[in-house]
Amino acid sequence: MKVAFRTTWQMDYPALENFLAPIFAKGAGSNDAHYDNPSFDALLQQGDRATTAADAIKSYQGAEKLLVTDMPVIPLWYANTTGSYSENVANVKFDVFGVPIYTDITRR
């Protein structure tokens, strides 16, 4: 790419890895910036091989720190979730996709 262009991403599943590997791993299908950092890819692979979620998250967070340093893309905005308020309901929460968790909503 030689000019500014738009790219977007919504996670397929709620995991840090899903915001890193598909967009920034070398050769990834959505790596439009052609980002290539062997240390970053090694941390992703380390996270993929981790035996505990905590160890995986630690590796992915390390990869994320490299992205901040390298800044292969500049994030301009993120979508917001919009909701409303009523005194007739309680326990209104939104999931990671911005959708209300209808099964948790209770009537007052």
Residue 75 lies in a domain: no
CB 23 within 8 A of CB 8: no
C-alpha distance from residue 98 to each of 20, 43, 89 (Å): 20, 29, 18
Residue 107 lies in a domain: no
The tens-digit pLDDT sequence of the chain (108 residues) is 677 766 778 888 888 999 899 999 999 988 988 999 999 999 999 999 999 999 999 999 999 999 999 999 888 877 788 888 899 999 999 988 888 999 999 999
Residue 26 lies in a domain: yes
CB 17 within 8 A of CB 56: yes
- Nearest partner of 45 among 62, 31, 29, judged by Cα: 62
Q: How many domains does the chain have?
A: 1
Query: For the whole prediction, is pTM greater than 0.85?
Result: no
Show contacts of 81-90: CB within 8 Å, 24+ apart. none
